[in-house]
Amino acid sequence: MQIERKKSTVQLGFWTLSWLVTLALATFGPKFIWDDHSIFTILAVVVNLVNGVLMILANRKMFNHYDELERKIHLESMGLTLGLAIIVGLTYSLLDQTNLIQSEAEIGLLVGFIGISYLIALLINRRRYL
């Protein structure tokens, strides 16, 4: 069981890294590699999307190796993170739409917020249950 869990964690790490690389390629490739050729850009975006789906499946596989307590900790952390992401994300977008902030609302900031929220929620829930 422990070997399978480690294997699924390594696979998740691989697919996460692969997704990040294909995201960078789809983001910077049109400007720096293939001079805005739409076919290459579409292909890069599709490859990134497929890598994202494979990353999600690897994440699911890893979760299937968790015990009930670990699943509960992660599920509660994800639920809190989802709620915060929706509320903060929509508020951030509203601030941009109503010109209450000077800059454009950037999705990267929301993604960073989601990551930090999940990490904090996970740490709090681990401390609470362990």
Segment 34-93, tens digit of pLDDT: 999 999 999 999 999 999 999 999 999 999 999 999 999 999 999 999 999 999 999 999
Segment 90-123, tens digit of pLDDT: 999 999 999 999 999 999 999 999 999 999 999 9
The Cα 107–Cα 129 span in angstroms is: 33
Instruction: Reply yes or no on whether the pLDDT at 130 is more than 90.
Output: no
Classify residue 103 by its DSSP letter. Answer: S
* Contact between residue 122 and residue 74 where contact means Cβ atoms under 8 Å apart: yes
pTM reported for the whole predicted model: 0.84
The Cα 128–Cα 39 span in angstroms is: 50
Planar angle of CA 15, 20, 21, nearest 5 degrees: 95
Return phi, psi of residue 84, to 5°.
-65, -40
Cα–Cα nearest to 118, from 60, 89, 87, 75: 75
